[in-house]
Amino acid sequence: MFCLTITVLLQITVEDYEQAARSLLKALFIREKYSKLAYHRFPWTTAKFLRNAANEMWTEEYEILPDICPCPGEGQDPYSMENIPDNLNYQMKMKDGIIYVYENTEALSMNKPRCLPYPDLETFAIDMISNQYHHKIQQFSLSNSRVFLTEISTMSERYNLEHISVYANVDTHIHAAACMNQKHLLDFIQTTYKTDAERVVLEKAGVKLTLKQVFNNLNMDPYDLTVDSLDVHAGRQTFHRFDKFNSKYNPVGASELREIYLKTDNYIEGEYFARLIKEVAHDLEESKYQHAEPRLSIYGRSPEEWESLSHWFIQHKVYSPNMRWIIQVPRIYDIFKSRKLIPNFAKMLENIFLPLFEATVNPQKHKELHVFLKYVTGFDSVDDESKHSDHMFSYKSPKPEQWTTDDNPPYSYYLFHMYANIMVLNNLRKERGLSTFQFRPHCGEAGSITHLVSAFLTADNISHGLNLKKSPVLQYLYYLAQVPIAMSPLSNNSLFLEYSKNPLREFLHKGLCVSLSTDDPMQFHYTKEALMEEYAIAAQLWKLSTCDVCEIARNSVLQSGLSHEEKKHFLGVNYLKDGPEGNDIRRTNVAQIRMAYRYETLCNELSFLVDAVKSEVVGSQ
């Protein structure tokens, strides 16, 4: 009956409506499947409706959660090498770009891998296509979204609380190499010059150079440096020019300075970079409720990168209770291949993932990496999404071992293979009682809409998501599955989309799970408190209410890789429950009426879909 009213309203036929509902539910079922396989989160409310649609029962126990290491308690050593699990001496081998685990050499020789779920490309490709099909129902969903938006804008008048105050929040998307602001970097460079001018800091073509010599060669006096001449800030010149933006990572345009100050693996063993990050961490610790999830790079150029990175982390004691680490993998196979550093794409994947399987199977052999991985909570896939790829990913695509061309694989190809390895790895780690990882790629910053389809299947949550504004269906799916989106409107404003056109406000008001993040304070921000600058500008420009701001802050904690214990502390003990029941207003400052509204709206949308499918079943009986 209800369904009929809607179809009349939208001027579509009942058949169209049922067909659309079926497709949307199918997409949700697929995401649920991929989420569970990888220990990614899937919202309980949506899961309940899916169980109902499948005529099954739902219980809390049915749900799975990621395993994230709690912070070391007071007095505990975060770098302790005690109580490391035993080695298992499993065997590992990559096949079709995915690492398989074998009980022993015999099993390996008989090609009998351990019983872990392994994804296969064919199914994924079919799932991808069946998801892309939703573009066809765009027209319907657009109308649907419109009704849905109007409804919300009326409702949202109700909780017109004013005044901002930010509660616990997490900078859900920030790159470590740009996590300090330009003034901070400038001061740091000048400080090191004061104390370390005669120190050898760089080896270039076999020649060792002191800091003084480096600056002499650059024809530069560090005391004359200003934030202007540092030249790391994005501006009018970088808009729609990702290439120009990338070069902003080089202070004064000099790659030497990037090498010395912003790298973990250099002549001074990343000492300066560690000190810079620890200064940023110190400020977060001071402010108590602010956290950040900086991205560190693993390139997949060589298998030693992980040992080097974890050694850097432990040697310089980079741990902070206010930071969780994400590993970013730049999509630059083409560069390594053209420089003949790797023979095929599989090798890159192996360099990235095999050391992790190794450290999981034999942690005693890889103590530093084992400890470091406690504080790594996820993976990011990064690069300019607007770069076009000629290859169309399908089950006919070459396997990673056969991907020997100089061309870069397309976005979806990267995503599937990263997801597949993370998924297997998570299952292995879960078996061993170790923490799991979340896949949190950059997605929808620019480029093709299909990126958002790939991530809908494979990602726990995404960064940017701007292009959802171009696809009402995908936007609706991201809403129904409550996929968290870390948005960075100031970054977008410098690179891809003017602030006033940023869809964050619209997404928030529709009920998508959006958080605010800085991306690159060094390039985009002016004040000392970059994340506060994001919140302040968003609040000013979009006239956000306190409730809006606190909802964004709450979303950021939900989205983050903070542990279950921390989330309980910051959001309330029942935070996993949906609706007002899951909200502790004293901790989040989000009004219960807002929580109730979000919950009811989501339930309404989901029940329309489930009812449509069920009535169809009844109708066809």
Does 237 interact with its own copies (rule: CB under 8 A)?
Answer: yes
Residues 479-508 that bind its own copies (CB under 8 A): 490, 493, 499-500
Q: Which of 2, 62, 395, 526 binds its own copies (CB under 8 A)?
A: 526
**CA-based end-to-end distance of the chain:** 17
**β-bridge mates for residue 516, sequence order:** 487
Does 513 interact with its own copies (rule: CB under 8 A)?
Answer: no
- Output the six-digit token pair for 593: 């009426």
d(CA 581, CA 584): 8
Residue 455 in contact with residue 441, Cβ under 8 Å? Answer: yes
Does 80 interact with its own copies (rule: CB under 8 A)?
Answer: no
Q: Which is nearer to its own copies, 209 or 232 (CB)?
A: 232
Question: What crossing angle do the helices spanning 472-480 and 450-458 adopt, rounded to 10°?
Answer: 10
Shortest Cβ distance from residue 280 to its own copies (Å)? 17
Applying CB under 8 A, the span of 104-112, 116-124, 163-171, 252-260 interacting with its own copies comes to: 163-171
Applying CB under 8 A, the span of 189-197, 271-279, 418-426, 518-526 interacting with its own copies comes to: 518-526
Q: Which is nearer to its own copies, 131 or 517 (CB)?
A: 517
d(CA 386, CA 28): 27
Does 158 interact with its own copies (rule: CB under 8 A)?
Answer: no
Residue 210 Cα distances to 197, 219, 251, 256, angstroms: 7, 14, 18, 12
Applying CB under 8 A, the span of 233-241, 326-334, 392-400, 442-450 interacting with its own copies comes to: 233-241
Question: What crossing angle do the helices spanning 472-480 and 138-155 adopt, rounded to 10°?
Answer: 60
Q: Which of 84, 161, 254, 596 binds its own copies (CB under 8 A)?
A: 161
Q: Which of 87, 109, 540, 604 binds its own copies (CB under 8 A)?
A: 540
Applying CB under 8 A, the span of 31-39, 229-237, 383-391, 470-478 interacting with its own copies comes to: 229-237
Does 532 interact with its own copies (rule: CB under 8 A)?
Answer: yes
- Output the six-digit token pair for 242: 């990702």
Applying CB under 8 A, the span of 9-17, 69-77, 226-234, 478-486 interacting with its own copies comes to: 226-234
Does 163 interact with its own copies (rule: CB under 8 A)?
Answer: yes
Catalytic residue among 366, 442, 464, 525: 464
Nearest to 127 by CA among 341, 395, 371: 395
Q: Which of 28, 201, 230, 452 binds its own copies (CB under 8 A)?
A: 230
Catalytic residue list contains 134: no
Other C-beta atoms lying within 10 Å of the C-beta of residue 362: 16
Does 451 interact with its own copies (rule: CB under 8 A)?
Answer: no
Shortest Cβ distance from residue 275 to its own copies (Å)? 24
What Rg, from alpha-carbon coordinates, does the chain have?
Answer: 25
Each residue 557-596 as x (binds its own copies by CB under 8 A) or -, in order, gives --------------------------------x-------
Bridging pattern class, strands 200-204 and 207-210? antiparallel
Q: Which is nearer to its own copies, 366 or 464 (CB)?
A: 464
Number of helices (H), then strands (E), in the chain:
27, 13
Bridging pattern class, strands 290-297 and 325-330? parallel
Residue 439 in contact with residue 460, Cβ under 8 Å? Answer: yes
Residue 47 in contact with residue 577, Cβ under 8 Å? Answer: no
Q: Which is nearer to its own copies, 41 or 464 (CB)?
A: 464
Sign of the Cα torsion 342, 344, 345, 350 reads: negative
Q: Which of 16, 96, 196, 231 binds its own copies (CB under 8 A)?
A: 231
Shortest Cβ distance from residue 165 to its own copies (Å)? 5
Nearest to 27 by CA among 483, 447, 595: 483
d(CA 605, CA 59): 21
d(CA 309, CA 135): 42
Does 273 interact with its own copies (rule: CB under 8 A)?
Answer: no
Does 109 interact with its own copies (rule: CB under 8 A)?
Answer: no
Q: Which is nearer to its own copies, 192 or 546 (CB)?
A: 546
Residue 233 in contact with residue 523, Cβ under 8 Å? Answer: yes
**What is the set of active-site residues?**
464
- Contacts with its own copies, residue ranges (CB under 8 A): 160-165, 182, 226-228, 230-231, 233, 235-237, 239, 490, 493, 499-500, 524-529, 532-533, 535-537, 539-541, 543, 545-546, 589
